Amino acid sequence: MSRQGHEIAVFGATGYAGQVLVRLLKAHPTLSPRAISARDPASWTPADRAAVGTASAVALALPAEASKTWAPVLREHTKAPVLDLSDAFRTSPGVPYGIFELWPEPIASAHLVANPGCYPTATLLALAPLLRRGLVAQDTIAVVGKSGASGAGKKVAEHLHFCELAGNSFPYNVGRHRHIREIEHHLGAPVCLVTELLPIVRGLSVTAFVRPTCDPAALHRALCEAYEAHPYVHVLDAPDARLGLRHVVGTHDARIAVGPVTASGLVPVFCSIDNLMRGAASAALVALNRLHGLDPHAGLAAPVPPGPALPGMKAAWT
């Protein structure tokens, strides 16, 4: 065990999300990381086996196929809970889904927990409270998401080369994005999702277009009520520059805003997060805290208040 008493075995500690999770665990008052070098069960060393055997939890910061390979192996080797950061188990029956603000049910007894994806996190934070209250139509939801290149991981691909991405922005995986199924599964409604790459390293924003079934002002009120007790989700009083990615990168914060109803009858709902923090590693830390019976936000920096609306701006939903 670590000197803190709770050592977390981290697979994939050299990936982008894994690196951030290891840094968070190193600064945690109770948990600490132990990087596991094995890439597959065939390369599992005795030292790795021993580390996993004494760990209080395992974090899989690996691609989905690797997680599917490791999960049954770990089930046979340890009784410690496994937190998977990939999309391998996010829609599996009986597997808790780790957005604390939306699914606060206890997970301490779970053997396997699915960490949510980055686009699903932002989309669900923005829309789930509205769908749950029946405030928007379920058959008219379109989402445009934009993120930094770190969301694609470390794999080599031509469109991720510096010369292709710098000073550029373009859509990708239109109609076949791997997060569509996850969003629809947990939102309970069909979604048209279009994602675009930005020429930045990290940060993610979504703009969801919904058709309200009520006074549009009720959307803002519902979001404020849903997150009143959750300090890391900020519902802005107007959509403005405070939604900018520079305000959320490096934090666990999520910023949400509701726009005005348009001539089409649609209302835009916005959410900004850091794809490597709230969309991956800091969400994983919250899940690990919950698995250990700790304060969910232990080890996280305090949330950053967004402040009042910028001069000249007013609430668009009034």
- Please tell me the predicted confidence (pLDDT) of residue 103: 97
**206 strand-pairing partners:** 145, 271
Residue pair 179/119 in contact (Cβ under 8 Å)? The answer is yes
Q: Is residue 307 part of a domain?
A: no
Nearest to 59 by CA among 102, 104, 26, 25: 25
CA-based radius of gyration for the chain:
20
Choice among 118, 163, 192, 224 that is catalytic: 118
Instruction: Print pLDDT tens along the chain (318 aa).
Output: 344 479 999 999 999 999 999 999 999 999 999 999 888 898 899 999 999 999 999 999 999 999 999 999 999 999 999 999 999 999 999 999 989 999 999 999 999 999 999 999 999 999 999 999 999 999 989 999 999 887 766 666 767 777 777 888 878 878 888 889 999 999 999 999 999 999 888 999 999 999 999 988 999 999 999 999 999 999 999 999 999 999 999 999 999 999 998 889 999 999 999 999 999 999 999 999 999 999 999 999 999 999 887 666 666 555
Q: Please indicate, yes or no, whether residues 184 and 208 belong to a single structural domain of this protein.
A: yes
Burial call 12-45: b when 16+ CB within 10 Å, e when fewer: bbebbbbbbbbebbeebebbbbbbbebeeeeebe
Q: Is residue 69 part of a domain?
A: yes
Q: Is residue 315 part of a domain?
A: no
Q: Is residue 190 part of a domain?
A: yes
Please tell me the pTM assigned to this model: 0.94
Q: Is residue 184 part of a domain?
A: yes
Q: Please indicate, yes or no, whether residues 143 and 155 belong to a single structural domain of this protein.
A: yes
Q: Please indicate, yes or no, whether residues 191 and 67 belong to a single structural domain of this protein.
A: no
Burial call 123-134: b when 16+ CB within 10 Å, e when fewer: bbbbbbbbbebe
- Please tell me the predicted confidence (pLDDT) of residue 307: 83
Q: Is 118 a catalytic residue?
A: yes
Put the strands of the sheet holding 57-60 in their side by side order.
Answer: 31-36, 6-11, 57-60, 82-84, 112-114
Q: Is residue 86 part of a domain?
A: yes
Written as six digits, the tokens of 80 are 């410690």
Domain that holds residue 17: 6-116+278-291
- Please tell me the predicted confidence (pLDDT) of residue 152: 65
Q: Please indicate, yes or no, whether residues 59 and 155 belong to a single structural domain of this protein.
A: no
Q: Please indicate, yes or no, whether residues 215 and 184 belong to a single structural domain of this protein.
A: yes
- Please tell me the predicted confidence (pLDDT) of residue 247: 96
CATH of the domain at 26: 3.40.50.720
Domain count, the chain: 2
- Please tell me the predicted confidence (pLDDT) of residue 153: 64
Strand (E) or helix (H) holding 113: strand 112-114
Cα(20)–Cα(22) distance, rounded to whole angstroms? Answer: 5
Q: Please indicate, yes or no, whether residues 97 and 132 belong to a single structural domain of this protein.
A: no
Q: Is residue 181 part of a domain?
A: yes
Going from the C-alpha of 137 to that of each of 130, 219, 236, 243, the distances in angstroms are 9, 12, 23, 25
- Please tell me the predicted confidence (pLDDT) of residue 161: 74
Q: Please indicate, yes or no, whether residues 59 and 151 belong to a single structural domain of this protein.
A: no
CATH of the domain at 161: 3.30.360.10
Q: Please indicate, yes or no, whether residues 35 and 14 belong to a single structural domain of this protein.
A: yes
- Please tell me the predicted confidence (pLDDT) of residue 211: 97
Q: Is residue 298 part of a domain?
A: no
Q: Please indicate, yes or no, whether residues 137 and 260 belong to a single structural domain of this protein.
A: yes
- Please tell me the predicted confidence (pLDDT) of residue 151: 72
